[in-house]
Amino acid sequence: MTIAPPLARARADQPFSGGDADQPLSDAAADRLIATLGAEARRAATRLAQAPTAQKAAALRHAAARLRADEALLLAANGEDLARAETRGLSNALRDRLALTPARIAAMAAGLESVAALPDPVGAVIDTAVRPNGLALSRVRVPLGVIGIIYESRPNVTADAGALAVMAGNAAILRGGSEARASNGCIHAALVAGLEAAGLPATAVQRIVPADRAAVGAMLRAAGLIDILVPRGGKSLVARVQAEARVPVLAHLDGMNHSFVHGAADPAMAETLIVNAKLRRTGVCGATETLLIDRAYPVPARLIAALLDAGCALRGDAEACALDPRVTPATLEDWDTEYLDAICTVGLVDGLEGALAHITRHGSHHTDAIITEDAAAAERFLAEVDSAIVMWNASTQFADGGELGLGAEIGISTGRLHARGPVALEGLTTYKWLVRGTGQARP
């Protein structure tokens, strides 16, 4: 591979990026690289933790301006990535995720500005108390420290993740996919330029250039250097992270989401919501993958027809197949399959109990919804479904940090620790206890 000007330029701007793009690393070399980047990141994090809101926001606004100014460079770099993708025979879907357009670059820059406008979580007081002995307590939000982000083809993750990490006062180590190498280099250069323009350390956002697996392994082993890892990618990445990580992980697992149409659902609302939940965008993690219909629901055939007519393939149990000849029989695996496509499994259940039992068995604790006019049934569903996001009379496609008011997201956590559901600035912080006394000794 030749190093085209945009990448060379990006490199010149990134003295702190480690590694060589073309040389696979040994495990030991990868560990050394991460140790070096990690030490730089820790120093940067110490400065970012004390940086005022305005300074962090200025860095992101500068970076946005730089992205806009670099549009031509960025499109050229992206063209290089796309050409390599074509040579390598990447799928159309992957190439679409990789592709940048002037509109996508504008959206990325606007995204940086919107993160810059979010309320700064650092320094927020969670609670306060005065103890009987006069000690004044407060719990105050502080940055997490060093965030590692491992991601795949979408170049905008470089901007989004870097921006969220910085705004929450952290340092980030980014390891994007090899397919987006040149594009990521340009975007990273804009972030670095923004940090420098605002007087913050350029090492607050570092990028690992080599795309081989050794660097990922070293990040997974980097306990003490990286405080939290955010893997954003397909099942194989997530599985590797789950198996190997010695660093805490903010895991974003399957969105094996259910929409349950209860017996007391309004049919018009049910049809609108189910078609939207399944088909608005089939590739997002909030898409519904299984439709459960209460046997007491009066017009199940109309609901099924609505989905089929909208272009969705349906795989059903015997009762669903009997409702429409276009429904094909579901296999056992279908009930646990996140299609991310215009395919939906559909089954009939006995009321709320049947739906709860099915979701307990097959759900992935991401997002599940009930559609009903019966408030008591809805409240029981909200209380008993053990998922990060539980909805009543709404489309599961709202499972998104922006839609839920966070302004952005670094991922949707399906784990139970630290942060659950969409994670943005608050999820990238921790807290400390401040104790202000007047000389109290403990009896």
Q: With binding defined as CB under 8 A, does residue 50 bind its own copies?
A: yes
Task: Report yes or no: 327 and 303 within 8 Å, Cβ to Cβ.
Answer: no
Binding segment toward its own copies, per CB under 8 A, in 56-64, 301-309, 311-319, 415-423:
415-423
> What is the spatial distance between Cα 111 and Cα 407, in angstroms, rounded to a whole number?
9
Q: Is 358 left (phi over 0), alpha (psi -120 to 50) or beta?
A: alpha
Binding segment toward its own copies, per CB under 8 A, in 29-37, 66-74, 99-107, 419-427:
419-427
Structure tokens at 19: 């590694």
> Which of 26, 101, 242, 331 is in the footprint of its own copies by CB under 8 A?
242
Q: With binding defined as CB under 8 A, does residue 374 bind its own copies?
A: no
Q: With binding defined as CB under 8 A, does residue 113 bind its own copies?
A: no
Token pair 């590797």 is found at: 240
Q: With binding defined as CB under 8 A, does residue 384 bind its own copies?
A: yes
Residues 148-207 interacting with its own copies (rule: CB under 8 A): none
**Strands 205-207 and 313-316, bridge-based pairing:** unpaired
> What is the spatial distance between Cα 316 and Cα 186, in angstroms, rounded to a whole number?
47
> Which of 6, 169, 194, 421 is in the footprint of its own copies by CB under 8 A?
421
Strand-pairing partners, residue 229, are 148, 249
The vertex-210 CA angle with 198 and 27, nearest 5°, equals 120
Least distance CB 68 / its own copies (angstroms):
26
**Which are the contacts of 297, defined by CB distance < 8 A and separation ≥ 6?**
261, 262, 263, 265, 270, 303
Nearer to its own copies, 22 or 386 (CB): 386
**Strands 343-349 and 313-316, bridge-based pairing:** parallel
Least distance CB 438 / its own copies (angstroms):
6
**Number of residues forming the site for its own copies (CB under 8 A):** 63
> Which of 72, 117, 223, 357 is in the footprint of its own copies by CB under 8 A?
223
Structure tokens at 152: 């795949």
Task: Report yes or no: 91 and 384 within 8 Å, Cβ to Cβ.
Answer: no
Token pair 């912080």 is found at: 429
The mark string for 260-299 relative to its own copies (x by CB under 8 A, - otherwise) is ------x--x--xx-xxx--x-------------------
Q: With binding defined as CB under 8 A, does residue 53 bind its own copies?
A: no
Least distance CB 431 / its own copies (angstroms):
6
State the CB neighbour count (10 A cutoff) for residue 193.
21
What DSSP string describes 311-324? T-EEEE-HHHHHH-
Q: Which amino acid is at 394?
A: A
> Which of 29, 197, 392, 407 is in the footprint of its own copies by CB under 8 A?
392
Structure tokens at 363: 């759900």
> What is the spatial distance between Cα 33 and Cα 37, in angstroms, rounded to a whole number?
6
Nearer to its own copies, 181 or 232 (CB): 232
Least distance CB 63 / its own copies (angstroms):
26
Q: With binding defined as CB under 8 A, does residue 131 bind its own copies?
A: yes
Q: Which CA distances in Å does 381 have to 334, 351, 354, 387, 390?
A: 23, 11, 11, 11, 8
Where does residue 132 rank: exposed (0-12), middle (13-18), buried (19+ CB within 10 A)? exposed
Binding segment toward its own copies, per CB under 8 A, in 9-17, 83-91, 307-315, 413-421:
413-421
> Which of 24, 217, 233, 248 is in the footprint of its own copies by CB under 8 A?
248
> Which of 12, 103, 129, 332 is in the footprint of its own copies by CB under 8 A?
129
> What is the spatial distance between Cα 262 and Cα 271, in angstroms, rounded to a whole number?
12
> Which of 15, 89, 325, 439 is in the footprint of its own copies by CB under 8 A?
439
Nearer to its own copies, 343 or 404 (CB): 404
Task: Report yes or no: 307 and 278 within 8 Å, Cβ to Cβ.
Answer: yes
Q: With binding defined as CB under 8 A, does residue 382 bind its own copies?
A: yes
Nearer to its own copies, 322 or 376 (CB): 376
> Which of 5, 119, 329, 437 is in the footprint of its own copies by CB under 8 A?
437
Q: With binding defined as CB under 8 A, does residue 431 bind its own copies?
A: yes
Q: With binding defined as CB under 8 A, does residue 415 bind its own copies?
A: yes
Q: With binding defined as CB under 8 A, does residue 317 bind its own copies?
A: no
* Contact set with its own copies (CB under 8 A): 46, 49-50, 129, 131, 135, 137, 142, 144-145, 223, 227-228, 242, 248, 266, 269, 272-273, 275-277, 280, 360, 378, 382-384, 386-395, 397-398, 403-405, 415-418, 420-422, 430-442
